[in-house]
Amino acid sequence: MAKQQHDNTEISPITNTQSVIVELNEDGMESRICMDTGYTTQTKYKIGDEKVISEYEASTSQLIRDLKFTDEKLGQYWYLTTVMFTQGMIYPEGTKEDWKWVYAPIIQISKKDQKEYPVPGKPGEYYETRLGVDVAEYYESNQFSDVCKRVGVAKEVELTELDG
């Protein structure tokens, strides 16, 4: 379980506002997320650590790779986040030139429809929920905090832009 630092907000290298939440897990790994943009980074995403970067990038979408942000000051790469939680999933979708944030809710599958959703390798077992991409809500690329507020994973906070 990650624990937030006491003074847990820092300046975003992307927006220059105090909107980055910093968390430290038990292993000493630090993660950061910019609540303005949806970009995230971890201690292990170091510039120059090609093994870790190539492993991560092989497991993510082309869009996330295309929109990677290089933070020279921190010495790390930032990537658009994908968040899975009990109510649904938030993820980016589109192309580098035209993309949006998507919220797809978790939907209960009726007993009669469950037969259409078999659990692979488990005969006679069926999923009871599914990701509702067919009823997803779309938000502009600059509305990450809005989609987070919509699903209850963020609250309204006053952000201060700093003179740079």
* Amino acid residing at 55: E
> Considering the domain boundaries, does residue 125 fall inside one?
yes
Average pLDDT, the chain: 89
- Shared domain for 90 and 68, answered yes or no, is no
- Shared domain for 147 and 124, answered yes or no, is yes
Question: Has residue 154 got a pLDDT over 80?
Answer: no
Predicted pLDDT of residue 72: 96
Question: Has residue 158 got a pLDDT over 70?
Answer: no
> Considering the domain boundaries, does residue 160 fall inside one?
no
> Considering the domain boundaries, does residue 67 fall inside one?
yes
Composition of the chain by helix, strand, coil, percent to 5: 15, 40, 45
- Shared domain for 73 and 3, answered yes or no, is yes
Q: Which string of DSSP letters, residue by residue, matches 26-78?
A: TTS-EEEEETTT-EEEETT-BTT-HHHHHHHHHTS-HHHHHT-EEETTTTEEE
Predicted pLDDT of residue 14: 95
- Shared domain for 113 and 99, answered yes or no, is yes
- Shared domain for 4 and 33, answered yes or no, is yes
pTM beyond 0.75, yes or no: yes
- Shared domain for 39 and 108, answered yes or no, is no
* Cβ neighbours, 10 Å, residue 1: 5
Q: Which domain holds residue 56?
A: 1-81
- Shared domain for 5 and 68, answered yes or no, is yes
What are the pLDDT digits (tens) for 37-78? 999 999 999 999 999 999 999 999 999 999 999 999 999 999
Predicted pLDDT of residue 160: 45
The Cα 157–Cα 164 span in angstroms is 21
The Cα 105–Cα 41 span in angstroms is 25
Query: What confidence category does residue 156 fall into, taking pLDDT thresholds of 50, 70 and 90?
Result: low
What are the pLDDT digits (tens) for 99-131? 999 999 999 999 999 999 999 999 999 999 999
> Considering the domain boundaries, does residue 45 fall inside one?
yes
% of the chain at pLDDT higher than 70:
88
> Considering the domain boundaries, does residue 24 fall inside one?
yes
> Considering the domain boundaries, does residue 36 fall inside one?
yes
Predicted pLDDT of residue 7: 52
Q: Among residues 81, 97, 128, which one ends one of the domains?
A: 81
Q: Among residues 50, 81, 112, which one ends one of the domains?
A: 81
> Considering the domain boundaries, does residue 48 fall inside one?
yes
